[in-house]
Amino acid sequence: MPADTIDSALVAINAAWACKRLYGDGRPAIEMHARRAAEALAAQGLPCRVVFLENKVVCDGVSLPSGKALCEGAFARLGRGLPDCLELRQGISPDSILRLIAALESGRWGDDIEGLRLCWVDRAPDALAPGEELITIGDPAFLSHELRTLWDQTAVKGEAPVKSVEALAGDVVTAVSAGSATVLPMANLKNHDEYTYVHAINVGVMSSALARAVGLSQDRVFDITCAALLHDVGKSTISLEIINKTGKLNDIERARMNDHPAEGAALLAASPGLAPVAVSVAYEHHMTLDGGGYPKAPKGWKVALASQVVHIADVFDALRTHRSYRKAMPLDKAIEILDAESGVAYDADLYRVFVDHVLNATPRAIDAESPEPRAA
């Protein structure tokens, strides 16, 4: 959903709240503003999550122009007693808006309001009131659970659930833009099965941060984040015996594992509405600029920038993760290996941005204790 539409709708809600405070209930202007807000939201694609930070409101990684005024007006209680994330869904009506205003005024979130939900970002309240739901955008366990669900749906249906993918990507972009995603990479894993999903989340976070650091547009950052989350989705077609094998793969198993880029690209190509870059990234994320890697590319093939972004994040996370046949590499060793591939596997300037603006900006992630050993 365009950020300016969200901003206009929230400004209308703020105006309805201001009218109610000045004149009390029953004024036509209150219902007029509530109707305008509901109509603006109904005309756009939902769901959408809006995060209220200190003096800033973020939607899909974009800071809304009216954020400061919104945080000082109707939405002042969000993040200060009430949850800090407002999820907008289909079914929002003027009555929903009026009930939201009443809840914001009272500081109490009672029964469910159609089309609206409050949730928490990156912290758990002591208790959840009726209608509240715990959503920890910065929590790898939550994100990996969501991603596992998406991959399972993709494997069963033969195509990705695009709206669900976009909602998860929005969570990641929001976490990155809000600075709360620094704890994601290197997150401890509880068991082998989690690796595939937590790895994809880590790659999504770092890819999103790198795409932002390069200066790509918000839309492009969002699409690359979607692609990064799905880059290994082809592994959903490979048996768990191979995925979870506690040791090195034999030649047959390795060949089967190497099929995952092509199979992932085929699944995503069959997903109507998904950004085309996701197909490219799924297919190319193990290719190198010098023609190496897999699948084997025809001579003269040019690996897309988005695929290189994901490739760098993918390799870094893999090197910094325990394997059954080796421990996670120290940071300096991982960077040494990445340095050697710079200009060969991926663009040297792109890699330098990764080191300078992603790794150096996330010291907690880099220095975090490595996860438990996992399968190859």
**What is the tens place of the pLDDT at every residue in 282-302?**
999 999 999 999 999 888 899
Three-state SS at 342: strand
pLDDT value at residue 367: 39
Give the pLDDT of residue 265.
Answer: 95
Helix/strand/coil for 82: strand
Query: Quick one: pLDDT band at residue 145, thresholds 50, 70, 90?
Result: low
Pick from 15-29, 170-184, 244-258: least confident: 170-184
Nearest to 313 by CA among 172, 154, 109, 180: 172
Average pLDDT, the chain: 81
Per-domain boundaries in the chain? 3-133, 140-367
**pLDDT grade, residue 340 (50/70/90)?**
very high
pLDDT exceeds cutoff 90 at 56: no
Q: What is the mean pLDDT of residues 250-275?
A: 94
Domain range 140-367, its CATH number among 1.10.3210.10, 3.10.20.90, 3.40.50.720, 1.20.1260.10 = 1.10.3210.10
Q: How far is CA 282 from CA 9, 237, 245, 300, 361, in A?
A: 36, 14, 23, 19, 27
User: Please, how many CA atoms are within 13 Å of residue 123, restricted to the half-sphere of its CB?
Assistant: 12
| Cα dihedral 38, 41, 46, 49 in deg (nearest 10) | -90
pTM of the model: 0.64
18 or 361, which is more confident = 18
- Each residue's pLDDT tens digit, 208-224: 999 999 999 989 999 99
- Is 43 exposed, middle or buried, given 0-12, 13-18 or 19+ CB atoms closer than 10 A? exposed
Least confident of 7-11, 26-30, 192-196: 192-196
The amino acid occupying position 157 is: K
Instruction: Enumerate the β-bridge partners of residue 293.
Output: 287
Closest CA to 135 of 147, 146, 151: 146
Nearest to 307 by CA among 207, 222, 234, 213: 207
Range 257-262 contact pairs with CB under 8 angstroms and sequence separation of 24 or more: 258/286, 258/294, 258/295, 259/234, 260/232, 260/234, 260/235, 261/234, 261/285, 261/286, 261/294, 261/295, 262/234, 262/295
Alpha-carbon span 163 to 143, nearest angstrom: 15
Neighbours of 299 (CB within 10 A): 5
**Which range among 44-58, 129-143, 290-304, 324-338 shows the weakest confidence by mean pLDDT?**
129-143
DSSP assignments along 106-132, one per residue? HT---S-BTTEEEE-SSS--SSPPTTE
Strand pairing partners for 346? Answer: 342
The per-residue pLDDT for 287 is 97
CB proximity list for 179: less than 8 A, separation 6 or greater: none
